[in-house]
Amino acid sequence: MFKNRSYLLGIGTGIIVGALLLQIMSARPAAVGPGTTFDEMDPLKLKEQASKYYQVFDKETKLFTQADFDAGVKTKLKEETDKLLASKPQAQQQTKIVVYVQPNLDATAVTELLIKTGIISDRKAFTAELEKQGGNFKIQVGPHVFEGVLDMKQVVANLIAVQ
């Protein structure tokens, strides 16, 4: 009647053997260690077993994401810069900075020198004040002393003044 009787017999036998194996596997309890199950383990042993393969933390431990960490760093950075800016004018009042302007330096080079030494912080404002006072070609060669906090007019006047 059937030409492929052995094929069907093999499929049926495979299904029956698979079902038996599935029943045997589901009837046996899962073993964690030698003779113990998860329910029988105390929390310390369970934590010890899990720490072999995973990072294990207590429930009370606060874990931060990268976004939380970045936000914390930004707030701390802002606090520290505010503290630094608050203390900077006092520190500048006590300091005395001497800048030596060499011969053949143009206004751009002097501006860079003043920015590097921390006397000025705004390049455009200094350049505008220098042009306003006509000092682009009047900058005097030699040492210039800057004490305390100075505005742009005082800085330009110090650079133009004959020493």
Q: Please write the tens of the pLDDT for every residue from 57-102.
A: 888 888 889 999 999 999 999 999 998 888 765 544 567 888 898 8
Locate tokens 């036998």: which residue? 13
Nearest to 118 by CA among 92, 153, 93: 92
Instruction: Compute the residue count for the chain.
Output: 163
Higher per-residue pLDDT: 34 or 144: 144
In order of their start, the domains of the chain are 96-160 (3.30.1490)
Taking the model in full, what pTM does it have? 0.42
Could you identify the residue written with the tokens 């760093």?
73
Number of Cβ atoms within 10 Å of the Cβ of 152: 17
Measured distance CA(22)–CA(24) in Å, rounded:
5
Q: Identify the pLDDT of residue 49.
A: 86
pLDDT tens readout for residues 25-48: 888 765 555 555 666 778 888 888
Give the closest residue to 96 by CA, choosing from 115, 119, 113: 119
| Amino acid (one-letter) located at 101 | V
